């Protein structure tokens, strides 16, 4: 039965999977976040001697053939591998009995900000060496960002709504928000959603270096990602994927699924200002957070935690701080804020999913992950960023912010699930 605007169904998170610089499982990822572990280190994938930045947050100990057959690995760009693997983990975690559910009632919304960057690098070199006949017939299918959700649906025979989102760093949050609406309004009973990115390539690193967007703290990479710190000098590239299983509440209860949290609201806006810089007053971020809070039917003073975009850039961190103050007013002093990018680096199109998982776990476990490398206070960034150590506290509602090049803003609001 299709839902209507007058009857929005409740949506819960019943499964999660992550492939990240801090671990290849949710348990390892969350444990290392709470420990304040940095995922940054020298880049091992290629020679970086000619680059201004020579470090990133690479995935450690990852071998695709531990999860996928060799033929599949050869035909998938790393971003698609991460997406499929993390989705497999999320589905397994959820315990969804796929053989017993109408496949038309389960779909996939999954995004990547860039797609097959590594594949592009390799195939361009093939073209330079041998001309167009040396370009792989798999080049385009390995490159396009939507191929990840295609692979996920094909592997699990999921025939419901299926498409990709592409909105730079807001990509995964848009995917989660769209999947939430699809379940909420009755077009599916469960959705797989999230984002994946594999940008640590010669062209990816070179492009962001050319923009002067990256930290160049090559002598101390573990301390390079330092959101809100006065000595921040740019973001640190990361890679990986995060996946969620969203499910209609009654559908989940009927099969006695474990429930991590409830999705309560989403907010999407545009800055309509600049292709890379936020407006100084953060007004687009303000409206995004306000929309999510209004969508959830709550007031700002009910929010306990904000997992911020917090990239460690001079302009972005100040604008987000200003925006949070405008949204929460006096209550801002009661909120814990943290940027998990201080540990994972910036996963670009996957950031929203990995950071939503962080907010969900904070809500589920009543623990706030820290912002590490916070050493030198910036007078323009004067909130409680949960510096350097995790903090235990009750978390009723948590927000996750992601803002993308192009002026895309997305906020996900999650709520502690309490059984009736």
- Angle between helical axes of 283-296 and 314-328 (0-180°, round to 10): 40
Among residues 169, 193, 261, 363, which one is catalytic?
169
Is position 364 annotated as part of the catalytic site? no
Among residues 156, 251, 309, 408, which one is catalytic?
309
SS3 content of the chain, % helix, strand, coil (to 5): 40, 20, 40
Is position 346 annotated as part of the catalytic site? yes
Beta strands in 24-105 (DSSP E): 41-42, 55-56
Helix (H, G, I), strand (E, B) or coil at 55: strand
Tell me whether strands 240-248 and 11-19 are parallel, antiparallel or unpaired: antiparallel
Residue of 190, 15, 11 whose CA lies nearest to 94: 15
For 122, the token pair is: 């390799």
Is position 169 annotated as part of the catalytic site? yes
Among residues 174, 346, 364, 408, which one is catalytic?
346
Q: Which residues of 229-264 are buried (b: 16+ CB within 10 A; e: fewer)?
A: beebebbbbbbbbbbbbbbbbebbeeeebebbbbbb
Judging by beta carbons within 10 Å of its beta carbon (0-12, 13-18, 19+), is residue 354 exposed, middle or buried? buried
Residue of 38, 43, 39 whose CA lies nearest to 55: 43
- Residue 121 vs residues 44, 79, 118, 204, 329: alpha-carbon distances, Å: 16, 14, 5, 9, 47
How many angstroms separate the CA atoms of 123 and 132, rounded? 9
Residue of 186, 144, 169 whose CA lies nearest to 5: 186
Residues labelled catalytic: 169, 309, 346
């Amino acid at each position: 039965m299709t839902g209507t605007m007058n009857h929005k169904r409740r949506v819960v998170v019943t499964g999660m999977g992550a492939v990240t610089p801090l671990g290849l499982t949710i348990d390892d990822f969350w444990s290392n976040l709470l420990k304040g572990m940095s995922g940054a280190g020298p880049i091992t994938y290629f020679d970086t001697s000619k680059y201004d930045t020579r470090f990133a947050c690479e995935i450690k100990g990852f071998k695709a053939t531990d999860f996928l057959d060799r033929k599949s690995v050869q035909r998938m760009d790393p971003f698609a591998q991460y997406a499929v693997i993390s989705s497999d983990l999320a589905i397994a975690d959820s315990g969804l009995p796929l053989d017993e559910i109408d496949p038309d009632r389960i779909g996939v919304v999954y995004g990547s900000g860039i797609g097959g960057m590594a594949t592009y690098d390799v195939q361009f070199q093939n073209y330079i060496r041998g001309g167009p006949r040396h370009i792989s017939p798999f080049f385009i299918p390995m490159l396009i960002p939507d191929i990840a959700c295609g692979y996920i649906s094909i592997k699990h025979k999921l025939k419901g709504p299926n498409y990709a989102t592409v909105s730079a760093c807001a990509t995964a949050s848009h995917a989660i928000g769209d999947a939430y609406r699809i379940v909420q309004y009755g077009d599916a009973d469960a959705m797989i959603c999230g984002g994946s990115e594999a940008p640590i390539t010669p062209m990816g690193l070179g492009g962001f270096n050319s923009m002067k967007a990256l930290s160049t703290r090559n002598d101390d990479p573990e301390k390079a990602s330092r959101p809100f710190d006065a000595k921040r000098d740019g973001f640190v590239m990361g890679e990986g994927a995060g996946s969620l299983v969203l499910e209609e509440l009654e559908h989940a209860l009927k099969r006695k699924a474990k429930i991590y949290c409830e999705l309560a609201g989403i907010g999407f806006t545009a800055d309509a200002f600049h292709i890379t810089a936020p407006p100084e007053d953060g007004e687009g971020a303000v409206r995004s957070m306000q929309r999510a809070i209004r969508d959830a039917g709550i007031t700002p003073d009910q929010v306990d935690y904000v997992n911020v975009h917090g990239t460690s850039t001079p302009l972005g961190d100040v604008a987000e701080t200003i925006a949070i103050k405008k949204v929460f007013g006096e209550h801002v002093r009661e909120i814990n804020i943290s940027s998990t990018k201080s540990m994972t680096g910036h996963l670009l199109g996957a950031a929203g999913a990995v950071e939503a998982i962080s907010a969900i776990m904070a809500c589920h476990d009543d623990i706030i992950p820290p912002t590490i490398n916070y050493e030198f206070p910036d007078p323009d960034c004067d909130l409680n960023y949960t510096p350097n150590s995790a903090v235990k506290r009750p978390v009723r509602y948590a927000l996750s912010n992601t803002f993308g090049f192009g002026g895309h803003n997305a906020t996900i609001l999650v709520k502690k699930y309490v059984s009736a």
